[in-house]
Amino acid sequence: MKLDSGALTWPIDAESKDLKLVPLIEPAGRLARSFPSAWPTNLDGETPHTAMANQLTSLVQEQFKRDYITIHSVVGEDGQGMKYLKKNPDKDPRNINGHSFEGALTETKAIARLAKEAGKTFGVAAITIHHGESDNGSAQYEQMLRQLWQDYNTDIPAITGQKSKILLITSQQNAYNDSRSAQAQWKVGVDYPEDIVCSGPKYQFESPDSLHLNAEGYRLVGEKSAEIYFQRIILGQLWQPLYPTKVDHEGATLTVHFHVPISPLVWDTTLDNPHDTVAEWKAGKGFEVRAGNTRVAINAWKSKAIRW
């Protein structure tokens, strides 16, 4: 389901009788009238949420033979950095952006009220954030993600009365190489594994402009988020993505150890080689080795799976 805000404009009163719960179909909210934009008119197209909801219900039905109803809220702001998504956002000189955090609380208040009126229980289980391009050079991005998690986990339970923590699911942005935000999106899940999880990269999905995904790409992102939600929240398992855990160095041999959520680790043979034009790394299957700022040639590689 989703919250229908009708024709209401910012700021919205969570007690408004014009707010109602309706079936979740795309677009998952109201379309933007211009750029930039903010909630409640903040969408440019399909979101990952309908695919996430459908996949999540399917997983629960398959394993537990029962229904599972989720309500999805989309409060992001197109093209904007964390400065407008955080609690107490920076002042926008155009007076357009900076509604995201307060919009999330408004939707939570409204949904909690509507659920109570319908005799249902309601709590917030997870927040998904697909972001990072605007902050790709920020050395503080991991700290900002962690602070966003802390603020949501303070303010939302005060509304819902829930005791359980809210999981933050993030994904790596793929628009900029050697991006600090992409590194932080992986690292924050390693540093705070019980609170935040990185779903993985997005380079494998089709992008028409090397920045946004097409509709099918966003559906696949939604399905991945559902897989993580199912593992972490419903099954209670500490799911983590594929990621390197350590590197051993012996002479000219580097051994990279990986956490592999579903064995075995398999190399894709259909995607383009990421370093076809880089002679030193062409044989490296996407790995890069440097000594300082100098590229070190990768002459060969092999993979080995060890199970225990």
136-186 residue pLDDT tens: 999 999 999 999 999 999 999 999 999 999 999 999 998 887 799 999 999
Query: Among the residues of the chain, which ranges form H helices?
Result: 49-64, 82-85, 100-117, 141-160, 180-191, 215-229
Closest CA to 174 of 217, 216, 142, 140: 217
pLDDT at 259: 92
Write down the pLDDT at residue 305. 63
Reference 103, options 23, 198, 173, 19; nearest CA is 19
Instruction: Tell me the whole-structure pTM to 2 decimals.
Output: 0.93
Q: Which fold has domain 2-240?
A: Rossmann fold (3.40.50)
Per-domain boundaries in the chain: 2-240, 244-295
| pLDDT of res. 38 | 97
pLDDT in tens, the chain (308 residues): 999 999 999 999 999 999 999 999 999 999 999 999 999 999 999 999 999 999 999 999 999 999 999 999 999 998 999 999 999 999 999 999 999 999 999 999 999 999 999 999 999 999 999 999 999 999 999 999 999 999 999 999 999 999 999 999 999 998 887 799 999 999 999 999 999 999 999 988 999 998 899 999 999 999 999 999 999 999 999 999 999 999 999 999 999 999 999 888 888 888 788 888 999 999 888 899 999 999 999 998 887 765 54
Dihedral sign (CA 50, 54, 60, 66):
positive
Per the DSSP assignment, residues forming a β-bridge with 295 are: 290
pLDDT reported for residue 267: 83
The pLDDT value given to residue 177: 74
